[in-house]
Amino acid sequence: MKTKIPAYKRAFDIVVSAGLILAISPLLILIAILIRLESKGPVIYYSLRTGRNYKVFKFYKFRSMVTNADSMVDKLKKTNNQYSAEEEADLEGKELNRSLIAFHRDNPLLVGNDFAYEIDDFDTYKDGDNKNSFFKVQNDPRITKIGHFIRKTSIDELPQLFNVLFGDMSIVGNRPLPLYEAEKLTIDKSVGRFLGPAGITGLWQVTDRGKADVDPDNRSRLDIEYAQNYNFIMDLKILWKTLPAAIQKENV
């Protein structure tokens, strides 16, 4: 069953995102300059994410990591993963036919009999194929100096205003997930989260974000709760709580 965004919500998203982009354009330019001065590479980072109705789109953020961050994921999954410290999956038997390559927009995808992943995400998927769907690193060594600041203040999220303006996301909704995480949540108890809009901020962000002991099951529960019950008043309440929640108190 596919869902549609209510007209009031889409109108709100367009007005707010366009207004904010104009209002904070000097800040956006300043952050872009600082990122470029600290390290070589693109100022804007994007990855493929899955949102409402499993729609796949380019998800924009200011780059907060070194440019070779993806190549460091394998090691960090085994040593620094907040969610799966107690176990590792043995997936050496999982075959990948690298001769099968498809393309989604501008990104190459590796395709097998029952999966399709970005090239840089496949090894991450293999290392994380256990009961924990989420990958989060404490004290991540890949983050740059300016990256620490823009993450701590959530400034790195500001380019997502363009995702909202383009219609990929809403101001308030559930976090859009990387492809390998979304694939793991196609089970009955979690699929309901994808009936709600993808958003910059949401119920989970104002409830659990910033805690070192994030519970993946509770995150899914909050996402489903929002998808089933969101309305204009609920969105306003979440927005009101977003600013203090954005200033994270823990280095996660």
Per-residue pLDDT of the chain (252 residues; tens, 9 = 90+): 678 899 999 999 999 999 999 999 999 999 999 999 988 889 998 889 988 888 899 999 999 887 765 555 555 555 555 544 444 444 334 443 433 334 444 444 444 434 444 444 544 444 444 444 455 566 667 788 999 999 888 899 899 999 999 999 999 999 998 888 887 776 666 778 888 899 999 998 888 765 555 677 788 888 889 999 999 999 999 999 887 765 555 444
| pLDDT value, residue 159 | 96
| pLDDT value, residue 132 | 47
Q: Where are the domains of the chain?
A: 7-246
Closest CA to 175 of 151, 197, 206: 197
Cα–Cα distance for residue pair 6/232, rounded to 1 Å: 10
Residue pair 54/177 in contact by the 8 Å Cβ criterion: no
| pLDDT value, residue 173 | 93
Cα–Cα distance for residue pair 33/18, rounded to 1 Å: 22
pTM for this prediction: 0.67
Residue pair 173/204 in contact by the 8 Å Cβ criterion: no
Cα–Cα distance for residue pair 68/64, rounded to 1 Å: 12
| pLDDT value, residue 85 | 43
| pLDDT value, residue 142 | 76
Pairing of strands 199-201, 170-172: parallel
